[in-house]
Structure 1
Amino acid sequence: MGFTQWWRRITGKGNDDKAGKGGKGGAPASGASGGKGGKGGAAKGVKAGPGAPDHLKGVAQPKGKLGRMPQPDRSRPVLGVDSTRSGWLGALLESGGHGTPHLIAASSLQELLEKAGDVAVVAVTVPLGLPDEGRREADVQTRRFLRDQGSTVLTTPVRDAVYAISHSEANAFNRAASGSGVSSEAWDLRRRMQELDAWVRQDLPALVVETHPEAAFATLAGAPLTSRRRTGDGAAERRSLLATGGVYLPTSAPHGIATDDVLDACAAAWSAHRVKNGEATTFPGEPQRHSDGIPAAIHV
């Protein structure tokens, strides 16, 4: 199943799901319409995760290997991307890595990249590379790096849990494969993880990597921050840190976009520029690969 066909099936009109419900990830209240198998979109032939109850089938998953991506062209700008309640927010940062990013809102990653134009690196704040069991080293090591701010690092659900048809089934998949359930935040973000998982299976004109905003701010500060990101003081500190890195927050944002989304997208753009120039730190140092073959690592 190609990306366009899969994405339309997952997000197309006629689903009971509405983007924008369920928190920042824009997750719907119930399972996606995808594949055969009855109400909720359960797909025939999709095996349950290791040890999961037999009745758990999940929804159809995208097929195909990781698409080709070029080596970054340093003459091009970069794009930092954060998920929002209604889709995605991009911060387009000029090739020199300094200045005020141009903000772009879009309902899909495909649309976002088309609006951004030719870029060298796309750094996304959503997990890229889903584990089959256990926890990703990217999450474990970034959480350790951030110390007291480690709770800002999402514990990525296992692949079958991301494609479960309900939160309760996701919990069952995840407990069987990793020993713990799926947080509400991770469940709310599942549609973004699904879209990214499918999107990178086509050939893309830019290098796509995962990043983490708090890890970027800690790198800028030389230590993990103690302020909370959604407080006034926390936002001011993060705005100031971006300025020390030569990135200045835009004075306005697209309608409905929160300040923390703007901060996170701009931090992602700062990290994308470091990736482009070969300066980024990677957690883990050697990306981990699961059955999907997608390199799983957080770059800052």
Structure 2
Amino acid sequence: MTGAPVLGVDGCPGGWIGALLVGDGVTLRVAPGIEELLAALPGAPAVVGIDIPIGLPDSGPREADRLARRELPVGRKSSVFPTPARAAVLADTWPEANEANRAATGKGLSHQGFNLCRKIAEVDAWVLAGPGVVVAEVHPEVSFAVMGADTRPSKQRPEGRDVRRRALRDVGLDLPAELRGPGWAVDDALDACAAAWTARRIARGEALSFPDPPEVFSDGIAAAIRA
């Protein structure tokens, strides 16, 4: 698996952006759904690293989120959102999701958190159905931190994008010349590339796991952020 293609995936306005890493070369692809993204590849990747919670808690916070925040500097820890409880992810409206999350965890769910629930539910159903590839949860900011990048500058700013672009090149990734397109921005592409770097580390048996071993909730899915 050490030389096999791997895929890093991040959500974007156009759906999902995938960074296919073959050797050190990265090719970017966008599709409205995760299954469509995988179907458009020339073959199945050895590992898919995706920036979305996998393994949803029944109650309380996930250890994965707590440990991932510890890897980030002050000012960036909030980029690791609390994972909604499974009951909240399955709710149809924000008031229902907010109430379900409060009942399950003692805390409400922000509108920002609810806006992620559709994508969380999409990936959850895909993973539970058995996609036929290794799928792992990643968090790009944690991946950048493990690379040694200074993640304090926001990637919404030019200096933050430059820091992360240099970090990816320093770990050997040959990035595309164009990192933006219809339905996706530079930060989406950089995050997908960071996820691909972690996917390659998983394939090589080099990745860290937060926690190690993973937690397992009632869905039976191993819940850990890899980097």
TM-score range, shorter chain: over 0.9
Which residue of 1 is the match for residue 16 of structure 2?
A: 88
Does structure 2 retain, via aligned residues, the 8 Å contact 1:103–1:254? no
Letter matched to residue 103 of structure 1: L
Match of 2:190 among 256, 259, 263: 263
Is it true that 1:107 corresponds to 2:32 in the alignment?
Answer: yes
Which residue of 2 is the match for residue 79 of structure 1?
A: 7
More helix by share: 2
| Larger Rg over CA atoms | 1
Does structure 2 retain, via aligned residues, the 8 Å contact 1:249–1:263? no
CA distance in 1, matches of 2:188, 2:31: 13
Match of 1:168 among 86, 90, 95: 95
Is it true that 1:272 corresponds to 2:199 in the alignment?
Answer: yes
1:86 deviates by 2.6
Does structure 1 retain, via aligned residues, the 8 Å contact 2:12–2:183? no
After TM superposition, what 4+ stretches of structure 1 lie above 3 angstroms from structure 2? none
1:107 deviates by 1.1
Does structure 2 retain, via aligned residues, the 8 Å contact 1:91–1:265? yes
Letter matched to residue 273 of structure 1: R
CA distance in 2, matches of 1:89, 1:216: 17
Letter matched to residue 227 of structure 1: P
Does structure 2 retain, via aligned residues, the 8 Å contact 1:104–1:254? no
Which residue of 2 is the match for residue 232 of structure 1?
A: 158
Instruction: Structure 2 unaligned segments of length 5 or more: list them.
Output: none
Does structure 2 retain, via aligned residues, the 8 Å contact 1:81–1:123? yes
CA distance in 1, matches of 2:28, 2:181: 7
Is it true that 1:243 corresponds to 2:169 in the alignment?
Answer: yes
TM-score (norm 2): 0.94
Which residue of 1 is the match for residue 59 of structure 2?
A: 133
Secondary structure in structure 2 of the residue aligned to 1:214: helix
Secondary structure in structure 1 of the residue aligned to 2:29: strand
Does structure 1 retain, via aligned residues, the 8 Å contact 2:14–2:184? no
Relative contact order, higher structure (CA 8 A, sep 6+): 2
Does structure 1 retain, via aligned residues, the 8 Å contact 2:14–2:182? no
Instruction: Structure 1 unaligned segments of length 5 or more: list them.
Output: 1-72
Aligned Cα root-mean-square deviation (Å): 1.3
CA distance in 2, matches of 1:74, 1:220: 19
1:147 deviates by 3.5
1:171 deviates by 1.1
More strand by share: 2
CA distance in 1, matches of 2:173, 2:3: 18
Letter matched to residue 136 of structure 2: V
CA distance in 2, matches of 1:274, 1:127: 19
Does structure 1 retain, via aligned residues, the 8 Å contact 2:98–2:109? yes
Over residues 64-117 of structure 1, what are the superposed CA-to-partner deviations in whole Å (9 max), with x where a residue is unaligned?
xxxxxxxxx3342000000112311000001x3x23x10111111111111122
Is it true that 1:288 corresponds to 2:215 in the alignment?
Answer: yes
* Residues 22-33 of structure 1 aligned to structure 2 (within 5 Å): none
Secondary structure in structure 2 of the residue aligned to 1:200: helix
Which residue of 1 is the match for residue 140 of structure 2?
A: 213
Secondary structure in structure 2 of the residue aligned to 1:79: strand
CA distance in 2, matches of 1:122, 1:144: 24
Secondary structure in structure 1 of the residue aligned to 2:109: coil
Does structure 2 retain, via aligned residues, the 8 Å contact 1:81–1:268? yes
Identity of aligned residues (%): 46
1:233 deviates by 0.4
Secondary structure in structure 1 of the residue aligned to 2:57: coil
Letter matched to residue 244 of structure 1: D
